[in-house]
Amino acid sequence: MLDFDVIVIGGGHAGTEAASAVSRSGGRCALVTLRADRIGTMSCNPAVGGLAKGQMTREVDALGGLQGRAIDATGIQFRMLNRSKGPAVQSPRAQADKYAYSDWLQRAMADDPNITVVEGCAERLVAHAAPVRNSECGMRNEETDAGNSSVRHSALHTPHWKIAGVVLADGRELRASAVVVTTGTFLRGLMHEGERKTAGGRIGEGAAETLSDSLRELGIELGRLKTGTCPRLAAETVDFSRLEVQPGDAEPVPFSFLNDRVDVEQLNCWITWTHAEVHDMIRANLHRAPMYSGQIASTGPRYCPSIETKIVRFADKTRHQIFLEPESRNTNEIYCNGISTSLPRDVQEAMVHAIPGLERAAILRFGYAVEYDFAPPTQIDATLMAKRVEGLFLAGQINGTSGYEEAAGQGIVAGVNAARFAAGRAPITIGRDQAYIGVMIDDLVTKGTEEPYRMFTSRAEHRLLLRSDNADQRLTPLAEAWGVAEPARVRRLADKQAAIADCMRRLEAIRIDSGRTGRDLLRRPGATWAELAETYPALAGANASAEVIRQVEIACRYAGYIEQSARQIERFRRMEDRAIPHGFDFAAVTQLRLEAREKLARFGPRSLGQAGRISGISPSDLAVLLVHLERHRRAHPPAAS
């Protein structure tokens, strides 16, 4: 039997970030994975970033995470999306060499002295019945033998569990007071390719068949979701002369705030399109598509649908865009972004060969869909710990999300909190006004999801403040306070902030008519620091990098909007700061509507602001709740210190 502080189950993008966060927190971590040589595998599109996702990757980096450094080291094409639009929606994206990327993460795990990689299949969780901590919860302890995880559950008498470890399929037992489950698509994973069904979480790998039962025994409800991937083609069989070239940026912007630049030879991507003949072919074979034959009953991703779903949902469109993206510098594999499919092989062959430029393309791997178990995320709180099981944290696709970036963001929060739980320290949370990661987690725990959740800039009400360029200024101070930021990162941020402050002082020192300053000049449409420096020598003397100057230009140009957002955040925080005591009896507030009482009791919000974001909770419900919270506060004054 081996003892650790935290056990992480799963070696994907959530699992590696969780394990690294545990290590940076000073904890000893076991990373349990089916195969050590598959840690960090990019199962679907080998790319990082994109709209809103690029912001999340930079946030992961600002918190000391791995994803930004990994893609900077292994990227083969870098692009800044939405360059022609405002900074709030500009997002970095990079195509990765998928083999180099996973190798990088595998080395990061192997070289970390606080991480022990354990090959094996996690069969079940070990948990002991624990007493309920607060009698206000309206629950009583169940009489049970310690360690028996088969106690019956009920709405009134919900047992409370405390994690103790994990048992592997070969009988080995690992002990820890915190476990992070990051199983991706492997929980009872089932792959579909036409009528053919194969157990597995991704091609060539098996599924975790028994861990779902263990989660259910602890009171975790599970559902099913579906995702999919596209065919891969042999590059030498593609007619690139018929395709539109999509090059990378001339000056790539790095993802990691530790890097000043990315100096790599970039590879091209290409664009082609489907057309009416392809659409007719797919329609004629919908009865053989698992999503339409009834073979798959679970919900797939709304915002990254299969080509079958696109043809049905957007019947009026005559064509759909396809991005052909190289998967590595050293192989001939081409990823067909835009035609994810689970159609039978013969249909995939005919479909691909009908697409311009792909008439003679050889398919190296056919597309497929995969169904898997997930835990509806209203069962966790903002720390990502399960409400019914102390020490059990969930991160990544098990919470109903999609994407490497969403997984990495959750992994870092779960890892930090698991380490803090194991050490008896207070948990951390990230607010909606602090990061896209905070928006995502708040959406998950207050609203849940019935389909794979994907981050968009439109989900963030404070997106002008949550830009990709300022993630370090927003989050590295938090990482430093939590003890997970490297000293070099902290020093680098301090130098950057000092340079920004120096530039601002130089602008303030410029005085022109009517009391205006250099800041006012920089607010004018089209004005740049470089142009002003030609007129005002004090600006030319600033020792500022291009990144610092960009921060100064944004701060001046959008000052009014930024100040307005700050005021909105302050009002939001006043609501958020009205804490709801642990175990508050919502059912006793009879003035609330029945629906409101049921939803509040189910979700268990920890603040008035969080309660207001639950679907179906009205402003009048909040007003009633506020009155009762004030009564509760007067009846239960805090103990004198």
307-354: pLDDT as tens digits: 999 999 999 999 999 999 999 999 999 999 999 999 999 999 999 999
What are the structure tokens assigned to 476, written together? 């590295």
Cα separation, 521 vs 629, whole angstroms: 49
Runs of H (alpha helix) within 454-536: 471-482, 487-509, 518-522, 529-535
β-bridge mates for residue 225, sequence order = 299, 372
Report whether pLDDT(493) > 90.
yes
What are the structure tokens assigned to 492, written together? 């680098």
Dihedral, 620, 624, 630, 634 alpha carbons, nearest 10: 170
50-72: pLDDT as tens digits: 999 999 999 999 999 999 999 99
Cβ-count burial of 192 within 10 angstroms (0-12 exposed, 13-18 middle, 19+ buried)? buried
Answer for the pair 48, 67: CB distance below 8 angstroms, yes or no.
Answer: yes
Report whether pLDDT(577) > 90.
no
438-448: pLDDT as tens digits: 999 999 998 89
pLDDT of residue 630: 84
Cα separation, 60 vs 73, whole angstroms: 16
Name 14's Cβ contacts closer than 8 Å, sequence gap at least 6: 182, 184, 395, 396, 397, 407, 408, 410, 411, 414
Mean pLDDT in residue range 215-222: 96
What are the structure tokens assigned to 380, written together? 């966790």
Of 152-156, 327-331, 411-415, 425-429, the one with minimum mean pLDDT is: 152-156
Q: From the CA atom positions of the chain, what is the Rg in Å?
A: 26
Answer for the pair 395, 370: CB distance below 8 angstroms, yes or no.
Answer: no
What CATH topology corresponds to 487-570?
Arc Repressor Mutant, subunit A (1.10.10)
Name 588's Cβ contacts closer than 8 Å, sequence gap at least 6: none
CATH number of this structure's domain 1-229+371-483, picked from the four choices 3.40.630.10, 2.60.40.10, 3.90.600.10, 3.50.50.60: 3.50.50.60
Q: Provide DSSP, 406-461.
A: HHHHHHHHHHHHHHHHHTTPPP----TTT-HHHHHHHHHHHH--SS-B---GGG-T
Answer for the pair 327, 46: CB distance below 8 angstroms, yes or no.
Answer: yes
Cβ-count burial of 638 within 10 angstroms (0-12 exposed, 13-18 middle, 19+ buried)? exposed
Answer for the pair 402, 447: CB distance below 8 angstroms, yes or no.
Answer: no
What are the structure tokens assigned to 374, written together? 């997930």
Answer for the pair 149, 127: CB distance below 8 angstroms, yes or no.
Answer: yes
Q: How many CB atoms lie within 10 A of CB 631?
A: 11
- If you average pLDDT over every residue of the chain, what do you get? 91
Dihedral, 584, 589, 595, 599 alpha carbons, nearest 10: 0
Answer for the pair 479, 471: CB distance below 8 angstroms, yes or no.
Answer: no
β-bridge mates for residue 173, sequence order = 167
Cα separation, 46 vs 42, whole angstroms: 6
Cα separation, 237 vs 488, whole angstroms: 47
Answer for the pair 460, 432: CB distance below 8 angstroms, yes or no.
Answer: yes
pLDDT of residue 616: 74
Q: Where are the domains of the chain?
A: 1-229+371-483, 487-570, 577-635
Backbone angles phi, psi at 361, to 5 degrees: -70, 135
Q: Report the amino acid identity of residue 549.
A: I
pLDDT of residue 132: 56
Task: Look up residue 525 and give its DSSP letter.
Answer: T
Cα-based angle 303, 434, 392 (whole degrees, multiple of 5): 75
Q: Does the fold of domain 577-635 match that of domain 487-570? A: no
Answer for the pair 471, 431: CB distance below 8 angstroms, yes or no.
Answer: no
pLDDT of residue 301: 81
Answer for the pair 1, 414: CB distance below 8 angstroms, yes or no.
Answer: no
359-370: pLDDT as tens digits: 999 999 999 999
Backbone angles phi, psi at 584, to 5 degrees: -55, 135
Does the 577-635 domain belong in CATH 1.10.150.570?
yes
140-192: pLDDT as tens digits: 333 333 333 322 233 333 548 999 999 999 999 999 999 999 999 999 999 99
529-545: pLDDT as tens digits: 999 999 999 898 888 99
What are the structure tokens assigned to 318, written together? 């005559």
Higher pLDDT, 559 or 602: 559
Cα separation, 113 vs 101, whole angstroms: 21
pLDDT of residue 640: 58
Among candidate residues 140, 155, 88, 160, the one with its CA nearest the CA of residue 465? 88
Q: How many CB atoms lie within 10 A of CB 553?
A: 19
Sign of CA dihedral 529, 531, 536, 538: positive
94-128: pLDDT as tens digits: 999 999 999 999 999 999 999 999 999 999 999 99
pLDDT of residue 152: 29
The 3-class SS string of 358-373 reads CCCCCEEECCEEEEEE
Q: In what helix (H) or strand (E) does residue 333 lie, and over which residues does it extend?
A: strand 333-337
pLDDT of residue 236: 98
Task: Look up residue 283 and give its DSSP letter.
Answer: H
Task: Look up residue 26 and give its DSSP letter.
Answer: T
Answer for the pair 360, 239: CB distance below 8 angstroms, yes or no.
Answer: yes
What are the structure tokens assigned to 274, written together? 């489907």
Name 546's Cβ contacts closer than 8 Å, sequence gap at least 6: none
Mean pLDDT in residue range 507-520: 90
Mean pLDDT in residue range 8-36: 98
